[in-house]
Amino acid sequence: MRVVIVRAALETVSPRGPKAAQVLSSHGHNVILLGWDRECKYSKVSRQEHYEAHRFRFRAPFGPKVLAFLPIWWMFELLWLIRHKWDVVQAMDFDTIMPAVVAAKIKRKKVIYEIADIYYKLVKLPGWFASICVFVDKLFIRCADGVVLASEGVVKELHGIPNKNVVIILNSPPDLCGEPQVAAKDKDIFTIFYAGALFRSRKSNLDKVFQAIKSMDKVRMVVAGYGDEVDQITAWASEAKDKVQFLGKISYSQVLAKTAEANLLVALYDPSVYVHRWAYPTKLFEAMMCGKPILVSKGSAMAELVDKENCGLAIDCQSVEEIKQAIAKLKQNPKLCELLGANGRKVYEREYSWQVMEKRLLSLYSAIVSKC
């Protein structure tokens, strides 16, 4: 079966598209990834081991400013889907679903709607406009032959999913560690790692972490990613080279390597941002997979999971002092770090591994194939 997976940004530190492509390809499906290269950095067409990637090379900003450019991307996506042969299109998020549904109706093909993020919740919109977006989103959900959700919280945020064929596929990484990684590369330095989109609108509170570690001995923060906070983070690295290392945009394999080398991961997203209250970011499961403790924000679904599985610490993300105390507690107690990391690894193997998610994805496609 010919499958097209559409995601506006293919080259991200959360590779849901490539992971799905690898699973489907290994089970006999012919897979193409279709995406938008906003930096014009990649080839228009490239061949990977498990899939072929096709990109729309058109410059556009990241973050909320991209909204003005979406109609151009939608036109490209629609025309591409109409011109090429495929059996199923898997559209990831609100910024890809409309052209996919239209093309599927025209060609009488199947469409899967994957909701990794509630797109219009990431941007502050007037209440009436957000309500319209929810209404339109549910229309697309009804039109889909199947729906993939990144967490159970999406059901609550959308007040129900009007589709009977729904699976939950969490942002779990493939198992590349095998055993908990309890020893960091540089044993003399307690290393905190963060990789992800670096936009002020996300309120990741890395500035609070920087303030917390400035006066701490033998502690450093390593940051990787892209966004409008890069200049600020670069300034921190210049101001205190022994405290902050900025890697820029790195590959996902490098993200996992740095995760395995670190002592602690942070995901201190502010729950005042709507999406942070229910989402499970990839780095939570990366920490579990690598057997590393993680700091998360109180008042979030992540905190509930971390407390339940005893695989990290939930703290007030706005309190520099509380962040400092949590880091000091873990730095001074390697056995606690090892215990929290081992707990995370166990629950990853039992409930949250990518192997578990693979079975859910393949089950969904089996149901779709039976209808083709």
| One domain for residues 103 and 243 | no
Residue with tokens 């590779």: 15
* 339 domain residue, yes or no: yes
| One domain for residues 277 and 241 | yes
Overall domain count for the chain: 2
| One domain for residues 162 and 36 | yes
* 183 domain residue, yes or no: no
* 184 domain residue, yes or no: no
Torsional class of 28: left (φ above 0), alpha (ψ -120 to 50), beta (otherwise): left
| One domain for residues 259 and 331 | yes
| One domain for residues 232 and 282 | yes
| One domain for residues 35 and 153 | yes
Q: What is the pTM of this model?
A: 0.80
Query: Could you list the residue range(s) of the whole structural domain that residue 223 is in?
Result: 190-352
Q: What secondary structure letter does DSSP report for 274?
A: G
> φ and ψ at 95, to 5 degrees?
-80, 5
Q: Are 296 and 284 in contact (CB under 8 A)?
A: yes
Residue with tokens 């500035």: 207
Would strands 146-149 and 219-226 be described as parallel, antiparallel, or unpaired? unpaired
Amino acid at 354: W
| One domain for residues 151 and 202 | no
| One domain for residues 321 and 194 | yes
Percent of the chain with pLDDT over 70: 94
pLDDT tens digit sequence for 11-31: 665 678 888 999 999 999 999
| One domain for residues 312 and 229 | yes
* 181 domain residue, yes or no: no
Provide the CATH number for the domain around residue 360. Answer: 3.40.50.2000
* 123 domain residue, yes or no: yes
* 14 domain residue, yes or no: yes
Between residues 184 and 153, which one has the greater pLDDT? 153
C-beta pairs of 36-42 under 8 Å, 24+ apart in sequence: 36/8, 36/9, 36/10, 36/60, 36/73, 36/76, 37/10, 37/11, 38/9, 38/62, 38/66, 41/11, 42/11
| One domain for residues 220 and 161 | no
Q: Is the pLDDT of residue 179 over 70?
A: no
Q: In this predicted structure, what is the pLDDT of residue 269?
A: 95
Q: What secondary structure letter does DSSP report for 229?
A: T
DSSP string for residues in 246-264: E--S--HHHHHHHHHH-SE
Q: Is 294 exposed, middle or buried (0-12, 13-18, 19+ CB in 10 A)?
A: buried
| One domain for residues 136 and 84 | yes
pLDDT tens digit sequence for 73-98: 999 999 999 999 999 999 999 999 99
Q: Is the pLDDT of residue 181 over 60?
A: no
Q: In this predicted structure, what is the pLDDT of residue 186?
A: 60
Q: Are 243 and 190 in contact (CB under 8 A)?
A: no
If DSSP states are collapsed to H, E and C, what string results for 155-208?
Answer: HHHCCCCCCCCEEECCCCCCCCCCCCCCCCCCCCCEEEEEEEECCHHHCCCHHH
- Alpha-carbon distances, residue 141 vs 31, 135, 148, 186, 278 (angstroms): 23, 10, 10, 48, 20
If DSSP states are collapsed to H, E and C, what string results for 1-38?
Answer: CEEEEEECCCCCCCCHHHHHHHHHHHCCCEEEEEEEEC
Q: Are 330 and 219 in contact (CB under 8 A)?
A: no
Nearest to 192, CA basis, from 340, 319, 327? 327
Averaged pLDDT for residues 151-165: 86
Q: Is 231 exposed, middle or buried (0-12, 13-18, 19+ CB in 10 A)?
A: exposed
Between residues 141 and 133, which one has the greater pLDDT? 141
Rounded Cα distance between 74 and 35, Å, is 11
Q: Is the pLDDT of residue 124 over 70?
A: no
Averaged pLDDT for residues 316-344: 96
* 178 domain residue, yes or no: no
pLDDT tens digit sequence for 49-71: 889 999 999 999 877 788 899 99
Q: 267 pLDDT band (50/70/90 cuts)? A: very high
pLDDT tens digit sequence for 210-259: 999 999 999 999 999 999 999 999 999 999 989 999 999 998 889 989 99
Maximum Cα–Cα distance for the chain, whole Å? 63
| One domain for residues 261 and 286 | yes
Q: 182 pLDDT band (50/70/90 cuts)? A: very low
* 235 domain residue, yes or no: yes
